[in-house]
A and B are shown apart, each in its own frame.
Chain A
Amino acid sequence: MESLTLSDVEQKYYSELFVYCDTDNTKKVASNGRVLDLFRAAQLPSEVVLQITELCGATRLGHFGRSQFYIALKLIAIAQSGLPLRVESLNSVKDLPLPRFVVGKNEAEARHAALYQDADSQGLYPAPGTALIPRPPGRGHQNKKGPPSSTSLPAHEVIQPLAPSIEAQPEPTSPVISPHQSPPTSPHSWRKHKRQHSGGNADRQQVVAAAGAVWTQFREPQTGPVTGDGMWSSHSPPPPLPPSQESWVSFTADTPPSSTLPAMHPSSVQESTTIRTVASAATTNEIQRQSSGYDDPWKITDEQRQYYINQFKTIQPDLTGLIPGSAAKEFFTKSKLPILELSHIWELSDFDKDGALTLDEFCAAFHLVVARKNGYDLPEKLPESLMPKLIDLDDSAEVPEPAAEVGYSASPVEVTPNKSPSMPSLNQAWPEMNQSNEDTAIVHPVPIRMTPSKIHMQEMELKRTGSDHNHPTSPLLAKPPELSEETKLPPSMKFVAANTVGDGYSSSDSFTSDQEPITRQRSQSGASPEALKVVAPPPPPPRPQQSHSRSSSLDMNRTFAAPAAPGQPQPSAIAFPPAVPPRPLPTQSSVPLTGHRVEAEGVPAGGAVLTTTSPQQIPQQPNFADFSQFQAFAASEQPSSLPDIDKHSEAGQADKISEGAGPLRAVKSDGPADERTSATVNSAKGSSGPLAPPPKPVRRRLKSEDELRPEDEQIGPQKAGAIAAPLTSQPSIPRSIGKDKKAIQASIRRNKETNTVLARLNSELQQQLKDLLEERISLEVQLEQLRPFSHL
């Protein structure tokens, strides 16, 4: 062997290495794993390594004796510094930096640093700056790190035998590549490395294990940034550049990344190591790498990601598209990994288990393949950094994004079902309701505020205005649009309980449409009694158009002015509250007459937006009945007024009810009560009148009963109001009769419509019905008391 003169530093370094490699402690190192690993860590082309081996005589001897080993190390250093391998150069080269071996351990670095601090500080430290500079782009990262790096960096640098030239030299074989580096880097390292693996996986494994051990001891030659100390130990795999480098190359027919990847690798490695040691303000990736510790190796660098993206494009030009399983299978089979491992990789990367790969999934799979080829063992579960949650291609590790996205997706869902009583929620719910009428409406009778808030009122107003035009039916509607609307409002409010109702009502005539918004509101409110009651103030807002919300009384006065007899004062004075709110307010004095109407009003809870017509019709009918009675009798003012009064009272009741009740219940209760009262009144009237009338009242009763339900569901008050309105507006009895027919027809139509709606609200109505019945009873009692007055 040629004589070899080593500097002290070299001597120390080499001896350490030798000791490390001399696992058998036989003072001669065979070509065992550690040596191979070491040589691989030097990141020299395999040819160079062979050459070195040959030069140092190990080939001749068959093993590495101490001298051979030292020679080899020196040759490595020479090779790393870019000098031609010559035996002569062994001793001639001056100031030869120590051979660099990529190690992925900060600890090692630290040790190195410590080791070299005193020894070679001068020589080494200058390196940091310079060392960084010559680095290839990957190194650039290092550069960045360099400045902020603390002493560890210098140590880091120290680890790398520092001459800038050397640094520049192994550009392709950047020492940086530490085995622990994230796999992405490994490809880089591979490329650079060009290391022929002497063995195959076996060697790799060996090396891996050896490397692991080496690192702990191997402080000095640590050159590259050690990505993760922990990584190394935990990640048994891979020697920085497993032999599969070639396979990597072959794997990808187009191996563009080769140059880039390696470059990236070292840089990333450096970065990570630096970060760890320095904890500098590294990029998030770096920080993540550092923090995620174990995940560091799985971080995809930007270059790698770009490469993956390019690969993705070759299979699937659309970056937002999917790669089918078969195509992916072919692609990854090219990597020559065992099917079992590919299968495992697939399982890890196909996050959504759809048999296809999105861009993120593909990148993760590719990354895992690269890692595996580099010798890294596949993780049991997908590392966080590889989770396909990243949409942003720029950032390879944005964990928050997916979370945010998930959050966003979840929020709308939450919003939908949550129909809070507040207006905003109502407003929100409206569009939602529109979209999913069926579902939301029926499912939740969310206790939404019954009171139509101003906004709703406005909406209702708008709708009503629109619907008014639409509503072709009955003259009644045309007639007291105000009243009807008003009445509608209350009833609609009542009916809001059922969203579906509201929705369903839209198809109804204008009144119903008007009521829709209201009913929607109601439905939202779930028609809960409490909610209803809360609404208390009947739907004044809707009415505004009508020109009298609560001032419906004025209208009433107007409308009923003619017939308006004195009898109206009380209840009728109230005028028809727009949508007569559901029964609620017994206080409203269910003036019995309006029983019918009231009931209708009360029913609204059912949501029936049922057309105002129906409620109107119902009351109308009774009214008509009354009128007919009176007509037959040519009743005097009184009789006629009675009906009027009835109407008025009903209307009034309706109004009152609507006013007082925004809640359906109220209306309902009033409704039934009113109905009864009206029935009684009618009956009374009937009795007073000719025979003809009696049947009518009876009819009416029946009808009212029948209609009560729908009315209850629908807008009772509205109907009442509507009916009353037309009735009142037409003082003449004959007209009322004519209208009777029309009203009946219209009511029939409406009833049918409402029936359909009612069917949906059945359950709610049942409940409301119960409440109404109770109120009805109370109202009846009151009616009894008030009867004498009403008969006036």
Chain B
Amino acid sequence: MFHICLLMFSPQNYPLYIRSVPSQNELKFHYTVHTSLDVVEEKVSAVGKSLADQRELYLGLLYPTEDYKVYGYVTNSKVKFVIVVDSSNTSLRDNEIRSMFRKLHNSFTDVMCNPFYNPGDPIQSKAFNGIVSGMMVQTG
């Protein structure tokens, strides 16, 4: 079974949303993602103009037993999306990852449009959850 994890971080780098398909390895995912955050920050600060860092591939993060690919995405407001997939999921192409990020971004935008949502709050939107679940099921 494919593992896939999605995390969203606010501009202040605290998590807004965490979701992973196999819930057991969440901790590991979290660790992976947090370490990747550093790289994301690096890229974000480095890239002056292009703010939308479509993806970054971390093949470097290979665990002894499992390899993970970590993809990053940053929105204009410095909200960071990180997707972690295990390398066994080789069917996941870059384009798919990009489309996933795009969908996530759109869903996130919809969440932001909700006046009841305060930016910085953890995202508890059912619609958002639904979309994320759908995506994970699709890729998983």
Report whether B124 and A340 are in contact in the complex, using a CB–CB cutoff of 8 Å. Answer: yes
Residues of B within 8 A of A326 (CB): 115
Which residues of B in the span 94-123 have a Cβ within 8 Å of any Cβ on A? 109-111, 113-117
CB distance from A216 to the nearest CB of B (A): 30
Q: Provide the A561-588 mask, 1 if CB < 8 A to any CB of B, else 0.
A: 0000000000000000000000000000
Q: How far, in angstroms, from A47 to B126 measured CA to CA in the complex?
A: 39
Decide yes or no: A342 and B113 within 8 Å by CB, A347-B126, A347-B127, A380-B126 being known contacts.
no
Q: How far, in angstroms, from A340 to B114 measured CA to CA in the complex?
A: 11
Q: Which residue of A lies closest to B111 (CB)?
A: A347
Report whether A350 and B126 are in contact in the complex, using a CB–CB cutoff of 8 Å. Answer: no
Q: How far, in angstroms, from A5 to B125 measured CA to CA in the complex?
A: 56
CB distance from B110 to the nearest CB of A (A): 5
Report whether A329 and B110 are in contact in the complex, using a CB–CB cutoff of 8 Å. Answer: no
CB distance from A143 to the nearest CB of B (A): 41
- Judged by a CB distance under 8 angstroms, whether B22 is at the interface is no
- Judged by a CB distance under 8 angstroms, whether B134 is at the interface is no
CB distance from B102 to the nearest CB of A (A): 15
Residues of A within 8 A of B113 (CB): 325, 350, 353-355
Residues of A within 8 A of B124 (CB): 340, 343
Report whether B110 and A353 are in contact in the complex, using a CB–CB cutoff of 8 Å. Answer: yes
CB distance from A456 to the nearest CB of B (A): 46
Which residues of A in the span 318-339 have a Cβ within 8 Å of any Cβ on B? 324-326, 328-329, 332, 339
Report whether A346 and B116 are in contact in the complex, using a CB–CB cutoff of 8 Å. Answer: yes
Q: Which residue of B lies closest to A338 (CB)?
A: B116
- Pick from B115, B126, B127, B130: contact of A329, CB under 8 Å: B115
Report whether B125 and A344 are in contact in the complex, using a CB–CB cutoff of 8 Å. Answer: yes
CB distance from B34 to the nearest CB of A (A): 27
Residues of A within 8 A of B117 (CB): 343
Q: Which residue of B lies closest to A347 (CB)?
A: B127
Range class of the B interface residue count:
10 to 19
CB distance from B111 to the nearest CB of A (A): 8
Q: Which residue of A lies closest to B106 (CB)?
A: A353
Q: How far, in angstroms, from A348 to B110 measured CA to CA in the complex?
A: 11
Residues of A within 8 A of B114 (CB): 325, 343, 346-347, 350, 355
CB distance from A470 to the nearest CB of B (A): 50
Q: How far, in angstroms, from A116 to B124 measured CA to CA in the complex?
A: 50
Residues of A within 8 A of B109 (CB): 353
CB distance from A364 to the nearest CB of B (A): 14
Q: How far, in angstroms, from A342 to B117 measured CA to CA in the complex?
A: 9
Report whether B115 and A347 are in contact in the complex, using a CB–CB cutoff of 8 Å. Answer: no
CB distance from A358 to the nearest CB of B (A): 14
Decide yes or no: A328 and B125 within 8 Å by CB, A353-B110, A380-B130 being known contacts.
no
Q: How far, in angstroms, from A733 to B18 measured CA to CA in the complex?
A: 90
Q: How far, in angstroms, from A328 to B127 measured CA to CA in the complex?
A: 19
Residues of B within 8 A of A342 (CB): 116
CB distance from A699 to the nearest CB of B (A): 55
Residues of B within 8 A of A332 (CB): 116
Q: How far, in angstroms, from A421 to B124 measured CA to CA in the complex?
A: 55
CB distance from A759 to the nearest CB of B (A): 33
Q: How far, in angstroms, from A340 to B115 measured CA to CA in the complex?
A: 11
- Pick from A324, A325, A329, A343: contact of B125, CB under 8 Å: A343
Q: How far, in angstroms, from A339 to B130 measured CA to CA in the complex?
A: 19
Which residues of A in the span 292-340 have a Cβ within 8 Å of any Cβ on B? 324-326, 328-329, 332, 339-340
Report whether B115 and A355 are in contact in the complex, using a CB–CB cutoff of 8 Å. Answer: yes
Q: Which residue of A lies closest to B110 (CB)?
A: A353
Q: How far, in angstroms, from A340 to B125 measured CA to CA in the complex?
A: 8
- Pick from B110, B115, B130: contact of A328, CB under 8 Å: B115
Q: How far, in angstroms, from A535 to B86 measured CA to CA in the complex?
A: 63
Q: How far, in angstroms, from A324 to B115 measured CA to CA in the complex?
A: 9
Q: Provide the A366-399 mask, 1 if CB < 8 A to any CB of B, else 0.
A: 0000000000000010000000000000000000
Q: How far, in angstroms, from A323 to B48 measured CA to CA in the complex?
A: 37
Q: How far, in angstroms, from A346 to B114 measured CA to CA in the complex?
A: 6
Q: How far, in angstroms, from A325 to B117 measured CA to CA in the complex?
A: 10
Q: How far, in angstroms, from A160 to B113 measured CA to CA in the complex?
A: 47
Q: How far, in angstroms, from A340 to B111 measured CA to CA in the complex?
A: 12
Residues of B within 8 A of A343 (CB): 114, 116-117, 124-125
Q: How far, in angstroms, from A346 to B110 measured CA to CA in the complex?
A: 10
Report whether A325 and B115 are in contact in the complex, using a CB–CB cutoff of 8 Å. Answer: yes
Q: Which residue of A lies closest to B130 (CB)?
A: A380
CB distance from B130 to the nearest CB of A (A): 7
- Give the most central of B109, B113, B114: most A CB within 10 Å: B114
- Pick from A324, A329, A353, A380: contact of B116, CB under 8 Å: A329
Q: How far, in angstroms, from A347 to B130 measured CA to CA in the complex?
A: 12
Residues of B within 8 A of A355 (CB): 113-115
Q: How far, in angstroms, from A647 to B127 measured CA to CA in the complex?
A: 76
Q: How far, in angstroms, from A324 to B114 measured CA to CA in the complex?
A: 10
Residues of B within 8 A of A340 (CB): 124
Q: How far, in angstroms, from A342 to B116 measured CA to CA in the complex?
A: 7
Q: Which residue of A lies closest to B115 (CB)?
A: A325
Q: How far, in angstroms, from A693 to B125 measured CA to CA in the complex?
A: 86
Report whether B116 and A339 are in contact in the complex, using a CB–CB cutoff of 8 Å. Answer: yes
CB distance from B123 to the nearest CB of A (A): 10
CB distance from A338 to the nearest CB of B (A): 10
Q: How far, in angstroms, from A340 to B121 measured CA to CA in the complex?
A: 11
CB distance from B54 to the nearest CB of A (A): 23
CB distance from A15 to the nearest CB of B (A): 44
Q: How far, in angstroms, from A348 to B117 measured CA to CA in the complex?
A: 14
- Give the most central of A324, A343, A353, A354: most B CB within 10 Å: A343
> Could you give 25 example pairs across A and B, Cβ below 8 Å?
A325-B115, A328-B115, A329-B115, A332-B116, A342-B116, A343-B114, A343-B117, A343-B124, A343-B125, A344-B127, A346-B114, A346-B115, A347-B110, A347-B111, A347-B114, A347-B125, A347-B126, A347-B127, A350-B114, A353-B109, A353-B110, A355-B113, A355-B114, A380-B126, A380-B130
A: which residues have CB within 8 A of B? 324-326, 328-329, 332, 339-340, 342-344, 346-348, 350, 353-355, 380
B: which residues have CB within 8 A of A? 109-111, 113-117, 124-127, 130
Contacts A344-B127, A347-B127, A348-B127 supplied; 11 other A-B pairs, CB < 8 Å: A325-B113, A325-B115, A332-B116, A343-B117, A347-B111, A347-B125, A350-B114, A353-B109, A354-B113, A355-B113, A380-B126
8 closest Cβ pairs, A-B complex? A325-B115, A343-B116, A329-B115, A355-B113, A347-B127, A346-B114, A342-B116, A353-B110
